[in-house]
Amino acid sequence: MQAYCVYTRACIVAYMRVNDWLMADIKEIRGMFPALSRKVYGKDLVYLDNAATSQRPQSVIDMWNRITSESNANIHRAVHRMADEATQAYEEARDAVREFLNAEYREEIVFTSGTTAAINLVAFCFGEAFVKEGDEVVVTEAEHHSNIVPWQMMCRRKGAVLRVLPVDDSGHLMLERLDDILNEKTRIVAVTHISNVLGLVNPVREIIQKCHSVNVPVLVDGAQGAVHCNVDVQNLDCDFYVFSGHKLYAATGTGVLYGKKKWLEAMPPYMGGGEMVGTVSFAETTYAPLPMKYEAGTQNFASAATLKPALEYIKLLNDNHLISYNDAIRDYIFKALSEDSRIRIFGVPRGTNQEKISLFSFIVEGVHHEDLALILDKMGIAVRSGQMCAEPLMDRMGVTGMLRASFAPYNTMEEAEYFIKCLDRAINMLI
Protein backbone atom coordinates (compact mmCIF):
# COMPACT_ATOMS: atom_id res chain seq x y z
CA MET A 1 0.00 0.00 0.00
CA GLN A 2 2.94 2.27 0.70
CA ALA A 3 3.82 2.95 -2.96
CA TYR A 4 0.27 3.90 -3.67
CA CYS A 5 0.05 6.28 -0.71
CA VAL A 6 3.28 7.93 -1.73
CA TYR A 7 1.83 8.46 -5.14
CA THR A 8 -1.43 9.90 -3.79
CA ARG A 9 0.47 12.26 -1.54
CA ALA A 10 2.70 13.34 -4.40
CA CYS A 11 -0.39 14.02 -6.44
CA ILE A 12 -1.97 16.20 -3.78
CA VAL A 13 1.26 18.12 -3.33
CA ALA A 14 1.50 18.58 -7.11
CA TYR A 15 -2.09 19.75 -7.21
CA MET A 16 -1.50 22.31 -4.49
CA ARG A 17 1.61 23.50 -6.23
CA VAL A 18 -0.30 23.92 -9.46
CA ASN A 19 -2.98 25.92 -7.72
CA ASP A 20 -0.45 28.26 -6.19
CA TRP A 21 1.23 28.74 -9.49
CA LEU A 22 -1.98 29.68 -11.21
CA MET A 23 -2.65 32.34 -8.66
CA ALA A 24 0.83 33.60 -9.19
CA ASP A 25 1.97 34.06 -12.70
CA ILE A 26 1.76 32.63 -16.22
CA LYS A 27 5.55 32.35 -16.24
CA GLU A 28 5.33 29.93 -13.39
CA ILE A 29 2.76 27.84 -15.21
CA ARG A 30 5.31 27.56 -17.99
CA GLY A 31 7.78 26.22 -15.48
CA MET A 32 5.65 23.10 -15.21
CA PHE A 33 6.47 22.26 -18.82
CA PRO A 34 10.11 21.29 -19.19
CA ALA A 35 10.03 21.58 -22.99
CA LEU A 36 8.98 25.22 -22.89
CA SER A 37 12.25 26.38 -21.40
CA ARG A 38 14.42 24.90 -24.11
CA LYS A 39 16.16 26.89 -26.78
CA VAL A 40 16.19 26.28 -30.51
CA TYR A 41 19.06 27.67 -32.59
CA GLY A 42 20.07 29.60 -29.51
CA LYS A 43 16.72 31.36 -29.24
CA ASP A 44 13.92 30.85 -26.73
CA LEU A 45 11.42 28.36 -28.06
CA VAL A 46 8.04 29.84 -28.96
CA TYR A 47 5.84 26.82 -29.38
CA LEU A 48 2.78 27.63 -31.48
CA ASP A 49 2.00 24.18 -32.84
CA ASN A 50 -0.25 23.17 -29.99
CA ALA A 51 -3.06 21.99 -32.23
CA ALA A 52 -0.72 19.27 -33.50
CA THR A 53 0.41 18.24 -30.04
CA SER A 54 0.71 20.08 -26.75
CA GLN A 55 3.69 19.98 -24.45
CA ARG A 56 3.50 17.86 -21.30
CA PRO A 57 3.51 19.15 -17.75
CA GLN A 58 5.84 17.57 -15.22
CA SER A 59 2.89 15.83 -13.51
CA VAL A 60 2.19 13.90 -16.72
CA ILE A 61 5.84 13.02 -17.19
CA ASP A 62 6.05 11.93 -13.55
CA MET A 63 3.03 9.66 -13.93
CA TRP A 64 4.45 7.98 -17.00
CA ASN A 65 7.80 7.56 -15.26
CA ARG A 66 6.19 6.19 -12.14
CA ILE A 67 4.20 3.54 -13.97
CA THR A 68 7.17 2.62 -16.13
CA SER A 69 9.77 2.51 -13.41
CA GLU A 70 7.72 1.22 -10.48
CA SER A 71 4.47 -0.32 -11.62
CA ASN A 72 5.21 -1.81 -15.00
CA ALA A 73 2.94 -4.84 -15.12
CA ASN A 74 0.25 -5.86 -17.53
CA ILE A 75 -3.16 -4.63 -16.48
CA HIS A 76 -6.44 -6.46 -15.88
CA ARG A 77 -5.01 -9.95 -15.55
CA ALA A 78 -2.44 -10.81 -12.89
CA VAL A 79 -3.23 -10.70 -9.17
CA HIS A 80 0.19 -9.51 -8.11
CA ARG A 81 0.95 -6.18 -6.52
CA MET A 82 2.49 -4.36 -9.48
CA ALA A 83 -0.31 -5.41 -11.80
CA ASP A 84 -2.78 -4.06 -9.29
CA GLU A 85 -1.05 -0.68 -9.17
CA ALA A 86 -0.91 -0.42 -12.96
CA THR A 87 -4.54 -1.46 -13.31
CA GLN A 88 -5.59 1.03 -10.70
CA ALA A 89 -3.77 3.91 -12.39
CA TYR A 90 -5.29 2.94 -15.72
CA GLU A 91 -8.82 2.68 -14.36
CA GLU A 92 -8.48 5.89 -12.39
CA ALA A 93 -7.69 7.60 -15.66
CA ARG A 94 -10.93 6.21 -17.05
CA ASP A 95 -12.81 7.68 -14.10
CA ALA A 96 -11.10 11.02 -14.70
CA VAL A 97 -12.16 10.96 -18.36
CA ARG A 98 -15.72 10.05 -17.42
CA GLU A 99 -15.85 13.01 -15.10
CA PHE A 100 -14.18 15.29 -17.64
CA LEU A 101 -16.77 14.48 -20.31
CA ASN A 102 -19.60 14.07 -17.80
CA ALA A 103 -20.42 10.69 -19.29
CA GLU A 104 -23.15 8.78 -17.49
CA TYR A 105 -21.23 5.50 -17.16
CA ARG A 106 -17.54 4.71 -16.91
CA GLU A 107 -18.08 1.78 -19.30
CA GLU A 108 -18.79 4.34 -22.00
CA ILE A 109 -15.15 5.40 -21.96
CA VAL A 110 -12.95 3.31 -24.24
CA PHE A 111 -9.20 3.97 -24.43
CA THR A 112 -7.67 4.07 -27.88
CA SER A 113 -4.35 5.24 -29.28
CA GLY A 114 -5.83 8.56 -30.37
CA THR A 115 -8.60 10.32 -32.23
CA THR A 116 -7.79 8.54 -35.48
CA ALA A 117 -7.96 5.11 -33.88
CA ALA A 118 -11.23 5.98 -32.14
CA ILE A 119 -12.89 7.10 -35.38
CA ASN A 120 -11.62 4.03 -37.20
CA LEU A 121 -13.10 1.88 -34.46
CA VAL A 122 -16.51 3.50 -34.74
CA ALA A 123 -16.50 3.61 -38.53
CA PHE A 124 -15.66 -0.07 -38.70
CA CYS A 125 -17.86 -1.42 -35.92
CA PHE A 126 -20.83 0.85 -36.56
CA GLY A 127 -20.55 0.02 -40.24
CA GLU A 128 -20.55 -3.70 -39.53
CA ALA A 129 -23.66 -3.43 -37.40
CA PHE A 130 -25.76 -0.80 -39.10
CA VAL A 131 -24.64 0.13 -42.62
CA LYS A 132 -25.67 -1.70 -45.76
CA GLU A 133 -25.52 -1.12 -49.48
CA GLY A 134 -27.12 2.13 -50.61
CA ASP A 135 -27.01 3.69 -47.13
CA GLU A 136 -25.46 7.10 -46.60
CA VAL A 137 -22.84 8.50 -44.22
CA VAL A 138 -22.37 12.25 -43.78
CA VAL A 139 -19.15 14.11 -43.03
CA THR A 140 -18.36 17.80 -43.49
CA GLU A 141 -15.96 19.69 -45.71
CA ALA A 142 -14.17 20.98 -42.62
CA GLU A 143 -12.94 17.57 -41.46
CA HIS A 144 -9.34 16.44 -41.23
CA HIS A 145 -8.41 13.21 -42.96
CA SER A 146 -9.00 11.18 -39.81
CA ASN A 147 -12.69 11.99 -39.93
CA ILE A 148 -13.00 11.37 -43.67
CA VAL A 149 -10.91 8.37 -44.66
CA PRO A 150 -12.23 5.82 -42.11
CA TRP A 151 -15.79 6.60 -43.26
CA GLN A 152 -14.76 6.43 -46.88
CA MET A 153 -13.19 3.02 -46.29
CA MET A 154 -16.33 1.79 -44.55
CA CYS A 155 -18.58 3.13 -47.31
CA ARG A 156 -16.48 1.38 -49.92
CA ARG A 157 -16.67 -1.87 -48.00
CA LYS A 158 -20.41 -1.62 -47.48
CA GLY A 159 -21.39 -0.11 -50.82
CA ALA A 160 -22.62 2.98 -48.99
CA VAL A 161 -22.42 6.60 -50.14
CA LEU A 162 -20.34 9.30 -48.44
CA ARG A 163 -22.06 12.68 -48.47
CA VAL A 164 -20.47 15.99 -47.56
CA LEU A 165 -21.91 18.99 -45.76
CA PRO A 166 -20.12 22.00 -47.30
CA VAL A 167 -18.58 25.04 -45.65
CA ASP A 168 -18.99 28.61 -46.88
CA ASP A 169 -16.12 30.95 -47.79
CA SER A 170 -15.70 32.07 -44.19
CA GLY A 171 -15.32 28.46 -43.08
CA HIS A 172 -18.72 28.04 -41.44
CA LEU A 173 -20.66 24.83 -41.95
CA MET A 174 -23.64 25.45 -44.23
CA LEU A 175 -26.18 24.11 -41.76
CA GLU A 176 -29.08 25.10 -43.97
CA ARG A 177 -27.97 22.31 -46.32
CA LEU A 178 -28.18 19.66 -43.63
CA ASP A 179 -31.93 19.17 -44.04
CA ASP A 180 -31.42 18.33 -47.70
CA ILE A 181 -28.59 15.94 -46.99
CA LEU A 182 -30.28 14.00 -44.19
CA ASN A 183 -32.74 11.39 -45.43
CA GLU A 184 -34.05 7.95 -44.55
CA LYS A 185 -30.85 6.36 -45.89
CA THR A 186 -28.56 8.39 -43.57
CA ARG A 187 -27.01 6.09 -40.98
CA ILE A 188 -24.58 8.41 -39.17
CA VAL A 189 -23.18 11.94 -39.25
CA ALA A 190 -19.56 12.67 -38.32
CA VAL A 191 -18.66 16.27 -37.58
CA THR A 192 -15.76 18.07 -35.99
CA HIS A 193 -16.36 20.11 -32.85
CA ILE A 194 -13.62 22.54 -33.92
CA SER A 195 -11.77 22.25 -37.21
CA ASN A 196 -7.99 22.00 -36.81
CA VAL A 197 -7.67 24.46 -39.68
CA LEU A 198 -10.47 26.95 -39.10
CA GLY A 199 -10.59 27.08 -35.32
CA LEU A 200 -14.28 27.87 -35.33
CA VAL A 201 -16.47 26.21 -32.72
CA ASN A 202 -19.17 24.40 -34.67
CA PRO A 203 -22.76 24.39 -33.37
CA VAL A 204 -22.60 20.67 -32.70
CA ARG A 205 -25.51 20.70 -30.27
CA GLU A 206 -27.79 22.11 -32.92
CA ILE A 207 -26.50 19.57 -35.45
CA ILE A 208 -27.06 16.73 -33.03
CA GLN A 209 -30.61 17.87 -32.29
CA LYS A 210 -31.37 18.12 -35.97
CA CYS A 211 -29.94 14.67 -36.68
CA HIS A 212 -31.67 13.10 -33.71
CA SER A 213 -35.00 14.50 -34.87
CA VAL A 214 -34.65 12.13 -37.82
CA ASN A 215 -33.07 9.35 -35.73
CA VAL A 216 -29.55 9.74 -37.06
CA PRO A 217 -26.70 9.32 -34.56
CA VAL A 218 -23.77 11.73 -34.50
CA LEU A 219 -20.05 11.29 -33.89
CA VAL A 220 -18.28 14.43 -32.75
CA ASP A 221 -14.56 14.65 -33.44
CA GLY A 222 -13.22 16.43 -30.40
CA ALA A 223 -9.52 16.39 -31.25
CA GLN A 224 -9.51 20.17 -30.84
CA GLY A 225 -12.87 20.56 -29.09
CA ALA A 226 -11.92 18.58 -25.99
CA VAL A 227 -9.00 20.93 -25.44
CA HIS A 228 -10.90 24.18 -25.76
CA CYS A 229 -14.54 23.54 -24.81
CA ASN A 230 -16.06 22.33 -21.60
CA VAL A 231 -17.49 19.19 -23.10
CA ASP A 232 -20.56 17.65 -21.50
CA VAL A 233 -21.54 14.64 -23.56
CA GLN A 234 -24.88 14.26 -21.79
CA ASN A 235 -25.79 17.84 -22.48
CA LEU A 236 -24.58 17.61 -26.06
CA ASP A 237 -26.40 14.29 -26.36
CA CYS A 238 -23.80 13.14 -28.91
CA ASP A 239 -23.67 9.44 -29.65
CA PHE A 240 -19.88 9.33 -29.92
CA TYR A 241 -17.22 11.82 -28.85
CA VAL A 242 -13.56 11.17 -29.59
CA PHE A 243 -10.35 12.95 -28.69
CA SER A 244 -6.59 12.52 -28.35
CA GLY A 245 -4.73 12.71 -25.08
CA HIS A 246 -1.55 14.16 -26.53
CA LYS A 247 -3.28 17.36 -27.61
CA LEU A 248 -4.44 18.01 -24.05
CA TYR A 249 -1.18 17.52 -22.19
CA ALA A 250 -1.32 13.73 -21.72
CA ALA A 251 1.27 11.31 -23.10
CA THR A 252 1.32 10.54 -26.77
CA GLY A 253 -0.43 7.37 -27.91
CA THR A 254 -3.50 8.06 -25.82
CA GLY A 255 -7.02 8.65 -27.01
CA VAL A 256 -10.58 8.33 -25.92
CA LEU A 257 -13.74 7.05 -27.48
CA TYR A 258 -16.87 8.00 -25.63
CA GLY A 259 -19.87 6.11 -26.95
CA LYS A 260 -23.38 5.85 -25.62
CA LYS A 261 -23.79 2.48 -23.98
CA LYS A 262 -26.58 1.45 -26.33
CA TRP A 263 -24.29 1.86 -29.35
CA LEU A 264 -21.20 0.31 -27.80
CA GLU A 265 -23.27 -2.68 -26.75
CA ALA A 266 -24.91 -3.08 -30.14
CA MET A 267 -21.71 -2.86 -32.17
CA PRO A 268 -19.40 -5.85 -32.63
CA PRO A 269 -15.81 -5.69 -31.29
CA TYR A 270 -13.10 -4.09 -33.39
CA MET A 271 -10.05 -6.24 -32.72
CA GLY A 272 -9.94 -9.65 -31.08
CA GLY A 273 -7.51 -10.92 -28.48
CA GLY A 274 -6.15 -10.19 -25.04
CA GLU A 275 -8.68 -9.40 -22.35
CA MET A 276 -11.56 -8.46 -24.65
CA VAL A 277 -13.10 -11.91 -24.25
CA GLY A 278 -15.59 -13.64 -22.01
CA THR A 279 -14.90 -17.27 -22.81
CA VAL A 280 -12.91 -18.60 -25.73
CA SER A 281 -13.14 -21.94 -27.45
CA PHE A 282 -12.43 -22.96 -31.00
CA ALA A 283 -16.14 -23.27 -31.58
CA GLU A 284 -17.21 -19.92 -30.14
CA THR A 285 -16.01 -16.88 -28.24
CA THR A 286 -18.02 -14.54 -26.09
CA TYR A 287 -16.85 -11.02 -25.43
CA ALA A 288 -15.98 -9.10 -22.33
CA PRO A 289 -18.41 -6.46 -21.10
CA LEU A 290 -17.81 -2.79 -21.87
CA PRO A 291 -15.39 -1.14 -22.08
CA MET A 292 -12.92 -4.03 -22.34
CA LYS A 293 -14.77 -5.43 -25.32
CA TYR A 294 -13.04 -2.71 -27.34
CA GLU A 295 -9.66 -2.82 -25.63
CA ALA A 296 -8.00 -5.83 -27.23
CA GLY A 297 -4.40 -6.69 -26.50
CA THR A 298 -2.03 -5.07 -24.04
CA GLN A 299 -3.05 -1.49 -23.63
CA ASN A 300 -0.74 1.52 -23.56
CA PHE A 301 -1.37 1.68 -19.83
CA ALA A 302 1.58 3.86 -18.81
CA SER A 303 0.43 6.56 -21.22
CA ALA A 304 -3.30 6.15 -20.59
CA ALA A 305 -2.68 6.71 -16.88
CA THR A 306 -1.33 10.19 -17.68
CA LEU A 307 -4.80 11.29 -18.74
CA LYS A 308 -5.59 11.74 -15.07
CA PRO A 309 -2.91 14.34 -14.26
CA ALA A 310 -3.49 15.91 -17.69
CA LEU A 311 -7.19 16.41 -17.02
CA GLU A 312 -6.43 17.72 -13.55
CA TYR A 313 -4.20 20.24 -15.23
CA ILE A 314 -7.00 21.22 -17.62
CA LYS A 315 -9.33 21.77 -14.69
CA LEU A 316 -6.83 24.12 -13.15
CA LEU A 317 -6.51 26.10 -16.35
CA ASN A 318 -10.19 26.83 -16.06
CA ASP A 319 -9.33 29.93 -14.11
CA ASN A 320 -11.08 33.16 -15.00
CA HIS A 321 -7.93 35.23 -14.76
CA LEU A 322 -6.07 32.90 -17.10
CA ILE A 323 -8.99 32.57 -19.52
CA SER A 324 -9.23 36.33 -19.99
CA TYR A 325 -5.45 36.50 -20.48
CA ASN A 326 -5.71 33.82 -23.19
CA ASP A 327 -8.65 35.59 -24.79
CA ALA A 328 -6.63 38.79 -24.91
CA ILE A 329 -3.83 36.95 -26.76
CA ARG A 330 -6.35 35.53 -29.23
CA ASP A 331 -7.90 38.94 -29.85
CA TYR A 332 -4.49 40.55 -30.29
CA ILE A 333 -3.34 37.96 -32.87
CA PHE A 334 -6.63 38.05 -34.71
CA LYS A 335 -6.55 41.83 -34.95
CA ALA A 336 -2.90 41.96 -36.02
CA LEU A 337 -3.38 39.36 -38.75
CA SER A 338 -6.69 40.85 -39.92
CA GLU A 339 -5.22 44.32 -40.25
CA ASP A 340 -2.33 43.12 -42.41
CA SER A 341 -3.47 43.43 -46.00
CA ARG A 342 -0.91 40.82 -47.14
CA ILE A 343 -2.58 38.15 -45.00
CA ARG A 344 -5.73 36.13 -45.62
CA ILE A 345 -7.14 34.32 -42.58
CA PHE A 346 -9.29 31.21 -42.85
CA GLY A 347 -12.04 30.68 -40.35
CA VAL A 348 -13.37 34.16 -39.67
CA PRO A 349 -15.96 34.47 -36.90
CA ARG A 350 -19.33 35.88 -37.87
CA GLY A 351 -20.09 37.27 -34.48
CA THR A 352 -17.74 37.74 -31.57
CA ASN A 353 -14.25 36.27 -31.28
CA GLN A 354 -15.62 33.84 -28.70
CA GLU A 355 -16.64 31.71 -31.65
CA LYS A 356 -12.98 31.13 -32.46
CA ILE A 357 -10.23 29.43 -30.51
CA SER A 358 -6.69 30.73 -30.43
CA LEU A 359 -5.81 28.99 -33.69
CA PHE A 360 -4.99 30.92 -36.83
CA SER A 361 -4.52 29.46 -40.27
CA PHE A 362 -3.61 31.90 -42.99
CA ILE A 363 -1.73 32.51 -46.18
CA VAL A 364 0.38 35.45 -47.24
CA GLU A 365 -0.23 36.53 -50.81
CA GLY A 366 2.74 35.71 -53.02
CA VAL A 367 4.64 33.85 -50.31
CA HIS A 368 4.85 30.10 -49.83
CA HIS A 369 3.80 28.83 -46.39
CA GLU A 370 6.82 26.55 -46.22
CA ASP A 371 9.24 29.46 -46.64
CA LEU A 372 7.55 31.31 -43.81
CA ALA A 373 7.63 28.26 -41.54
CA LEU A 374 11.33 27.66 -42.25
CA ILE A 375 12.26 31.24 -41.45
CA LEU A 376 10.08 31.40 -38.34
CA ASP A 377 11.69 28.16 -37.18
CA LYS A 378 15.10 29.81 -37.28
CA MET A 379 13.67 32.61 -35.15
CA GLY A 380 12.69 30.00 -32.57
CA ILE A 381 9.02 29.85 -33.50
CA ALA A 382 7.35 26.48 -34.12
CA VAL A 383 4.33 26.76 -36.40
CA ARG A 384 2.70 24.30 -38.74
CA SER A 385 2.72 24.64 -42.50
CA GLY A 386 1.13 22.59 -45.24
CA GLN A 387 -2.19 20.93 -45.76
CA MET A 388 -2.70 20.14 -42.10
CA CYS A 389 -4.18 16.73 -42.86
CA ALA A 390 -7.18 18.42 -44.46
CA GLU A 391 -6.62 18.34 -48.20
CA PRO A 392 -10.30 18.65 -49.19
CA LEU A 393 -10.58 21.82 -47.10
CA MET A 394 -7.43 23.23 -48.76
CA ASP A 395 -9.04 22.53 -52.14
CA ARG A 396 -12.25 24.21 -50.99
CA MET A 397 -10.33 27.33 -49.98
CA GLY A 398 -8.32 27.22 -53.21
CA VAL A 399 -4.88 26.93 -51.61
CA THR A 400 -2.12 24.30 -51.61
CA GLY A 401 -1.39 24.84 -47.95
CA MET A 402 -1.50 27.31 -45.09
CA LEU A 403 0.52 28.47 -42.14
CA ARG A 404 -1.00 27.80 -38.75
CA ALA A 405 -0.22 29.26 -35.36
CA SER A 406 -2.09 27.55 -32.54
CA PHE A 407 -1.81 28.78 -28.99
CA ALA A 408 -2.13 27.03 -25.63
CA PRO A 409 -2.87 28.56 -22.24
CA TYR A 410 0.86 28.51 -21.46
CA ASN A 411 1.68 30.88 -24.31
CA THR A 412 2.33 34.45 -23.30
CA MET A 413 1.44 37.84 -24.75
CA GLU A 414 5.19 38.45 -25.21
CA GLU A 415 5.35 35.37 -27.40
CA ALA A 416 2.33 36.56 -29.37
CA GLU A 417 3.96 39.93 -29.98
CA TYR A 418 7.26 38.30 -30.92
CA PHE A 419 5.41 36.05 -33.38
CA ILE A 420 3.73 39.01 -35.10
CA LYS A 421 7.04 40.89 -35.28
CA CYS A 422 8.90 37.88 -36.69
CA LEU A 423 6.13 37.12 -39.16
CA ASP A 424 6.42 40.65 -40.52
CA ARG A 425 10.18 40.29 -40.80
CA ALA A 426 9.87 36.91 -42.54
CA ILE A 427 7.34 38.27 -45.04
CA ASN A 428 9.65 41.18 -45.81
CA MET A 429 12.52 38.78 -46.45
CA LEU A 430 10.43 36.84 -48.93
CA ILE A 431 8.55 39.49 -50.84
Partner 1 sequence: MTLQEAENAIVEEFSMYEEWLDKYEYLIELGKSLNDYPESAKTDDRLIKGCQSRVWLDYRVEDGKVVFNADSDAIITKGIISLLIGLYSGRTPQEILSSDFSVVEKIGLKENLSPTRANGLVSMIAKIREIASMNV
Residues that bind partner 1 (CB under 8 A): 41, 367-368, 370-371, 373-375, 378-379, 385-386, 400-401, 429-430
Contact 113, 121 (CB under 8 A): no
Q: How far apart are CA 364 and CA 423, in angstroms?
A: 10
Cβ at position 206, least distance to partner 1 in Å = 37
Parallel, antiparallel, or unpaired for β 240-244 and 255-259? antiparallel
Cβ at position 52, least distance to partner 1 in Å = 12
Name the residue nearer to partner 1 (CB basis): 205 or 368.
368
Cβ at position 390, least distance to partner 1 in Å = 15
Name the residue nearer to partner 1 (CB basis): 78 or 430.
430
Q: How far apart are CA 256 and CA 160, in angstroms?
A: 27
Name the residue nearer to partner 1 (CB basis): 26 or 373.
373
Name the residue nearer to partner 1 (CB basis): 222 or 401.
401
Contact 89, 308 (CB under 8 A): yes
Q: How far apart are CA 419 and CA 430, in angstroms?
A: 16
Name the residue nearer to partner 1 (CB basis): 61 or 420.
420
Name the residue nearer to partner 1 (CB basis): 26 or 423.
423
Parallel, antiparallel, or unpaired for β 255-259 and 381-382? unpaired
Catalytic one of 155, 211, 238, 389: 389
In sequence order, the β-bridge partners of residue 164 are: 139
Q: Enumerate residues 6+ apart whose C-beta is below 8 A from 334.
A: 345, 353, 356, 360
Cβ at position 116, least distance to partner 1 in Å = 19
Instruction: Quickly count: other Cβ atoms within 10 Å of residue 216's Cβ.
Output: 20
Q: How far apart are CA 182 and CA 175, in angstroms?
A: 11
The closest of 100, 125, 113 to 231, measured between CA atoms, is 100
Q: How far apart are CA 329 and CA 318, in angstroms?
A: 16
Q: How far is CA 322 from CA 215, 352, 409, in A?
A: 40, 19, 7
Strand boundaries in 118-250, DSSP class E:
136-140, 161-165, 186-192, 218-221, 240-244
Q: Identify whether 5 is a catalytic site residue.
A: no
Name the residue nearer to partner 1 (CB basis): 50 or 140.
50
Q: Enumerate residues 6+ apart whose C-beta is below 8 A from 350.
A: 170, 172
Q: Enumerate residues 6+ apart whose C-beta is below 8 A from 115.
A: 146, 221, 222, 223, 242, 243, 244, 255
Q: How far is CA 350 from CA 99, 135, 173, 399, in A?
A: 32, 34, 12, 22
Name the residue nearer to partner 1 (CB basis): 296 or 423.
423
Instruction: Quickly count: other Cβ atoms within 10 Å of residue 310's Cβ.
Output: 28
Cβ at position 399, least distance to partner 1 in Å = 11
3-state secondary structure of 268: coil
Q: How far apart are CA 109 and CA 124, in angstroms?
A: 18
In sequence order, the β-bridge partners of residue 362 are: 345, 403
Determine the number of helices (DSSP H) and then strands (DSSP E) in the chain: 17, 17
Residue type, 431: I
| Backbone φ, ψ for residue 396 (5° rounding) | -60, -40
Name the residue nearer to partner 1 (CB basis): 194 or 373.
373
- The residues that are catalytic are 389
